[in-house]
Amino acid sequence: MKTKEAFRCSACGAQSPRWKGQCSSCKEWNTLEPVTVSKRTSTPVGAAASQDRPRPLEDLTTENLNSRTSGMPSLDDLLGTGLVPGAAILLGGEPGIGKSTLLLQLAGSQARLGHTAVYLSGEESLPQLKARAERLDLLGPGLMALSTNKVEDALAILSEPEPPELLIVDSVQTLVSPMAEGIPGSVSQVRAVSAELVEKTKKTGTTLILVGHVTKDGQIAGPKLLEHMVDTVLYIEGDRKHFSRILRVLKNRFGPSDELVVFTMKEKGLEVVEDPATFFLGTRDPSLSGTAMAMAVDGQRPFAVEVQALVSKSFLSIPRRTALGFDTNRLNLLLAVLEKRLRLNLSGHDIYAKITGGLATRDPGLDLAVISAVLSSFYDQPLPESSVYWGEIDLNGQIRPVAAHDIRLKQSKRLGHDPACHSGTCPTLADLQRFLFGKRN
């Protein structure tokens, strides 16, 4: 065992990895004293060898891996097989997006089904958790909670004779392990805390859900190793100014990794949108110029969304280009193709484009809808009312087919719309311009 230096409060016994003038636990001044603690390392030379030996896979039983329902059918479909005993799930998302609300609802659903669920929070006190659970109508005998910042408390729960079937840690960046140096949330602490929890849950069969903070770039904070250590990585996204939330699967060892669920924020928490095909479409007026309905596909789900564009004369030396809901660089690329292939002078115009409803997607099939909406605003002519658009635009101005064409077409016909122009009838942007507006470049 190697040793390291730490500091312990002589008044309350709290431990800190570095010296401070004031103890963070009891608020006493000048009470931290240096102590020597052991640090776990690899097995020393000459130590007893492990008794584990390779075993034939065909002789193993998988009865302990039978999944159970989460109490939320849409979440079961998202995970593929529901909650698997011993599985580790990582949930990321921006602050205030609804991570804690969703997981508290999941814990409440497990308690109502007769399973034991423990919600461990390092950010909220127990009275705060009870108030939120009471507001969401989730209080019940099987729902337990613990407020702590020590990973030893979580390991103690998993070491009980009857460990809980679900353990939620909110969040992994708030826990601290004495086996690692650094402050809570540092790379070393996050790695150590996650490794200890995942290793313990694999042995006990408890389903573990870790909440991870995100950086300003939208990536899950901490080492990238954290995503490799868990079995499933979920990400909840959405605009906090809108009521919609999207839960995506980024990695899944027990099911598909390209599924998503759409939620809407209500007074009683997050509710699943059963038919999200037209949820983001809202109420639109197709008689206005600059609007186009697109059939986007995210994962295996088709969404009818409205793409709006505004082309107005600019009085700036450098015209503005703004995109909401998709990549601004892609908008600049499409506008450059328009100027080159259709010989349009857009250098003196400000151009704004957005996807309504708060949906953000990187579907390349939106190219055709964005181009059509920009042309509609530029000519100030509305597009055909029953038209729907999807297709990718290459640098030569060709309209290329995109993935999931049959899914888009089937959903469009179900909603009573027909594709106005596709790669078969309008292979180029010039054909699209002539088809929609009767103009030739």
Residue 357, annotated as binding a ligand: no
Across the range 39-53, mean pLDDT stands at 49
Select from 331, 369, 365, 367 the least CA-distant residue to 349. 331
Query: Is the Cα dihedral 397, 398, 399, 401 positive or negative?
Result: negative
pLDDT at 312: 95
pLDDT digit string, tens, across residues 105-148: 999 999 999 999 999 999 899 999 999 999 999 988 888 999 99
Highest mean pLDDT among 43-47, 182-186, 204-208: 204-208
Residue 160, annotated as binding a ligand: no
Determine contact, residues 57/36, Cβ cutoff 8 Å. no
Q: How many CB atoms lie within 10 A of CB 227?
A: 17
Confidence tier at 52 by pLDDT (50, 70, 90) = low
pLDDT digit string, tens, across residues 225-260: 888 899 999 999 887 777 888 898 989 998 888 788
The Cα 189–Cα 186 span in angstroms is 5
Residue 95, annotated as binding a ligand: yes
Residue 99, annotated as binding a ligand: yes
The CATH code belonging to domain 69-272 is 3.40.50.300
Residue 318, annotated as binding a ligand: no
The CATH-assigned architecture of domain 291-437 is 2-Layer Sandwich (3.30)
pLDDT digit string, tens, across residues 341-382: 999 999 899 999 999 887 888 889 999 999 999 999 999 999
Q: Quick check: 440 pLDDT over 80?
A: no
- Tokens representing 272? 């699943």
Residue 97, annotated as binding a ligand: yes
Residue 241, annotated as binding a ligand: no
Confidence tier at 423 by pLDDT (50, 70, 90) = low
pLDDT digit string, tens, across residues 154-201: 999 999 999 999 999 998 999 999 888 788 888 888 999 999 999 999
Residue 150, annotated as binding a ligand: no
pLDDT at 299: 72
